Chains A and B, each alone.
Chain A
Amino acid sequence: MIKIPYLAALTTLFSYGLLFVFGQLRDFFRKIFDCWSHSKLQGYAPICLGLEDFYIRRLYLRIQDCFNRPISSPPDAWFDVVERVSNDNNKTLKRTTKVSRCLNLGSYNYLGFAAADEYCTPRVIESLKRFSPSTCSTRVDGGTTTLHTELEESVANFVGKPAAVVFGMGYVTNSAILPVLIGKGGLIISDSLNHNSIVNGARGSGATVRVFQHNTPYHLEKVLREQIAEGQPRTQRPWKKIIVVVEGIYSMEGELCKLPEIVAICKKSKAYVYLDEAHSVGAVGKTGRGVCELLGVDTADVDIMMGTFTKSFGSCGGYIAGSKELIKYLKYTCPAHVYATSISPPAAQQIISSIKVILGEDGSSRGAQKLARIRENCNFFRSELQKMGFEVLGDNDSPVMPIMLYNPSKIPAFSRECLKRNVAVVTVAFPATPLLLARARICISAAHTKEDLIKALEVISRVGDLVGIKYFPAEPKKQQLEESRVKFE
């Protein structure tokens, strides 16, 4: 639950209103000036209808230097951010040759595999020499190497399911699988804050889509009962199939899904459960196997488990794990398997090696150390931020922590001030988040040392004072408590 200070809500709405008014005024004058200038494309329909790109032209471009920052080194705990300059007030940005070494609080580098690793990198280079960077073919034609079969077995074993299939891109995994699993006459019930890939896949499938309030199992039950009772939209026939789509960790909230309750409700109504573990696989759970392990849910109860390799494994691609029959069906029908190029062999080898490290099969205990370190790091960081008075979302044990900013002007202020002090953070605003709830999202990694975290805390505290985002009262430090006690005596 997000608690907004009332004054912050009022000022945020007022600021957005002001930005909107100025944007509309500028558009109005631009239209007048454009009437006079002669356009070369007379008679052609305009590419944008004038209102569609309003947000990008008048709001996003003003603070464009806070997004899309290019980097010139691997996204490890510290990396090089390329500096950019603008001569026309942020409408265009030019890269310079200067780089600044910054602390990386934005990459999804949960277990620290993003930079060169002593076990994984030699094996990746060897498979690069042996198999070449691309298979140059789809899985069906000639793109299935021994690495691919080994990878699918390894993933299925890691996640706890009988079989798995792997694709070259994580976004495509969701948007190409949902249309294959369900079609017209089916029902998809998805969480209101699901990722764009799930929304696209659900829209592309042709099934009816209903949404339930974020992470609220009783609302899911209400929606399920209503929909099962009503049936399909015009014909009132029973639904052919019902799939409930939830995510393990929601990337914008840092919250864990209430999986046990949701699985119990779906079992009662005989609906299928589709779990998207993009951010949770490899990062949570005692041995890193994801939310099912953390929350004690049997993997046989979750029908389709999906995940990506970009976050904890330091590679690219996505997977779907399920029963043997499901995976066999997907291999015949899914367009991402039949028509898209297979995952690159060095990337596949990186995943296999990182899974071996996490499970301890490389002969060392580095995997268990990484998992313990990320848990310590994120719990320490979150509790320190909350003690300083920031509003931090997310559950304990979740490596994603959004810090609430609210006002649109605090977004570039926070981002630029942190960059000046060599800390790189990612800020997220409308329309990826609701209008009032802009935030800075921090992703903790196992590669961050205690000194890195302490430096980050100092910088964020200083910038938070400057920008004014400490919405909750800060806990007084122990020294001050003792001094006041002494004075009293």
Chain B
Amino acid sequence: MIGRLYVQAVPTADLNRNTDWFTYPGVWTTYILILFFCWLLVLSVFNCTPGMAWTVVNLCHFVVTYHFFHWKKGTPFADDQGIYNGLTWWEQIDDGKQLTRNRKFLTVVPLVLYLIASHTTDYQHPMLFFNTVAVLVLVVAKFPNMHKVRIFGINGDQ
């Protein structure tokens, strides 16, 4: 039955091939499903409590999304002649417009992960500290005021 469910692919007006895939249907569901399967994987490999597994998923999610959304700049192909070379992926999506639906979704995901991780570990100490640091850094990096801001010149253009 699910094999016969169709969605319309509305062609976007986003010219940046690095970010236009995020406007197509199915992206949000895939993101959430990947996080859920990573949790199952961590549980089965490490044989730990569910809370520890959510903490591990939260911290890995922090490292991976910080690196790819807020650290790496430019696009992985040379067709656009480098016009996005000074912008991180987060600054490129939706053509730089702030507070769109996609951006709001991506801001809510680390918050929800934080709530799940801290709830399932019963707010115990070393895990709570790391989870809080992770969510604070990620949410601050996604504020509209932080668009194109490089603190102390870290990760700025040469």
Contacts and interface: CB of A to CB of B under 8 A. Distances in A.
A138 B79 CA distance: 30
B30 interface: yes
A38 interface: no
A118 interface: no
A1 B79 contact: no
B14 to A, nearest CB: 8
A6 B5 contact: yes
A55 B20 CA distance: 16
B74 interface: yes
A3 B9 contact: yes
Interface in B5-51: 5-13, 15, 17, 20-21, 24-27, 29-30, 33-34
Contacts of B27: 13
A66 to B, nearest CB: 18
A236 interface: no
A7 B3 contact: yes
Interface of A is mostly: mixed
Nearest to B73: A51
Contact of B76 (A3, A5, A52): A52
B152 interface: no
A49 B5 contact: no
What size tier do the contact residues of chain B reach?
35 or more
Interface stretch (A210-218, A324-332, A338-346): A210-218
A51 B26 contact: no
Interface stretch (A83-91, A154-162, A368-376, A427-435): A427-435
B151 interface: no
Contacts of A35: none
A64 to B, nearest CB: 15
B72 A6 contact: no
Nearest to B21: A435
Interface residues of A, number: 38
A2 interface: yes
Nearest to A219: B13
A211 B13 CA distance: 6
A239 interface: no
A13 B30 contact: yes
B78 A52 contact: yes
A437 B8 CA distance: 12
Interface in A414-457: 430-431, 434-437
26 contacts: A1-B8, A5-B4, A6-B2, A6-B6, A6-B7, A6-B26, A9-B24, A9-B25, A9-B26, A10-B30, A12-B26, A13-B30, A17-B30, A17-B34, A51-B73, A52-B75, A54-B77, A55-B76, A192-B11, A192-B12, A192-B13, A211-B15, A434-B11, A434-B12, A434-B24, A437-B9
Interface of A: 1-7, 9-10, 12-14, 16-17, 48-49, 51-56, 192-193, 196, 203, 211-214, 219, 430-431, 434-437, 473
Interface of B: 2-13, 15, 17, 20-21, 24-27, 29-30, 33-34, 72-79, 81-82, 85
Given A9-B7, A17-B30, 7 more contacts: A192-B12, A213-B13, A430-B17, A434-B24, A435-B17, A435-B24, A436-B21
